[in-house]
Amino acid sequence: MGWSERDVPDQTGRTVVVTGASAGLGLENTRALAAAGARVVMATRNATKTAAAADRVRRAVPGAVLEQVDLDLADLASVQHAAAVIADRHDRIDVLIANAGLMATPESRTVDGFELQLGVNHIGHAAFVAALLPLLDRADDPRVVVISSEMHRVGRIDLDDLHWDRRRYQRWLAYGQSKLANLLYVRELSRRCEAAASPITVAAAHPGYAATELQTKGPSMQGGLSGRWMDAANNVLNAIIAQPAAEGALPQLFAAVAPGVVSGSYWGPQGLRGMRGAPGPAGRSSAAKDERVARELFDRTEAMTGVSHDLPA
């Protein structure tokens, strides 16, 4: 038997922020952490949808302590406002799970002009993490968990064209670039936390193939015949191959709470070529181990967001 929700340590007195907490993996993390006694801050874009999701959690976990904070990762002003609200409510954060994301969307831009998938999956989350580092640094065993994907293997970081201004846009390669960026970010932030002697553990996780809204959100944004075909195909694959969202959420839950998680580590399902099963160490592409690109992408991300990852000396 592998690691499961039954192995989650008592989280009483701990505060966890989960982005994208209103559905899928984020909702499952919210439920499991609330059941273990944590106060969960649901950082989400749709307050109405989140209220309904919170009601579901409270029915499953009577007495669950939940909060909601408006967060649109495609808008840096919203990111900063959400971080300010959390800082006003809490003097520390124990765990931040950067879970929200988009996959294979049509070409589009964030409010600030970034390619949408990179902007939401990587840049918006990086700005959010940076703004909350001081609160994390005050906690005992603080952790940042960033959700990547095995699709990082098809990604390539083009530092001269991060937002597909010159290349012909390809939504799957753009998604792969954003997920590779997640792993490079974890690598560099982990290195910087260690250099600053910060107690923050930074880890990455991927869900394998889990049945969530992620597979259908991109096609629904695309529209047209091809979008409907992709939506139908994904629904079939979800029914036949995918593991339930609660199981897909285990690797990120493990990275967030399991004892002995090492900073810079990467976790994912161990069965069916990493698509399903109990969590364990996950492999990465050679591109995800490139220290030079990790450092340069990190610096450029700070420049794009205007937010520095300041850590106490």
**What are the residue numbers of the active site?**
175
Which of 36-71 are b and which e, b meaning 16 or more Cβ less than 10 Å from the residue's Cβ? bbbbbbbbbbeeeebeebbeebeeebeebebbbbeb
| Secondary structure of residue 90 in the 3-state scheme | coil
CA 28 to chain centre: 13
d(CA 219, CA 267): 27
Phi, psi dihedral angles at 279 (to 5 degrees): -75, 150
Specify burial of residue 83 (Cβ count, 10 A radius: 0-12, 13-18, 19+). Answer: buried
Give Rg (Cα) of the chain.
Answer: 18
Tell me how crowded residue 235 is: count the other CB atoms within 10 A of its CB: 15
Contacts of 243 (CB under 8 A, 6+ apart): 208, 209, 210, 211, 269, 275, 276, 277
d(CA 200, CA 187): 13
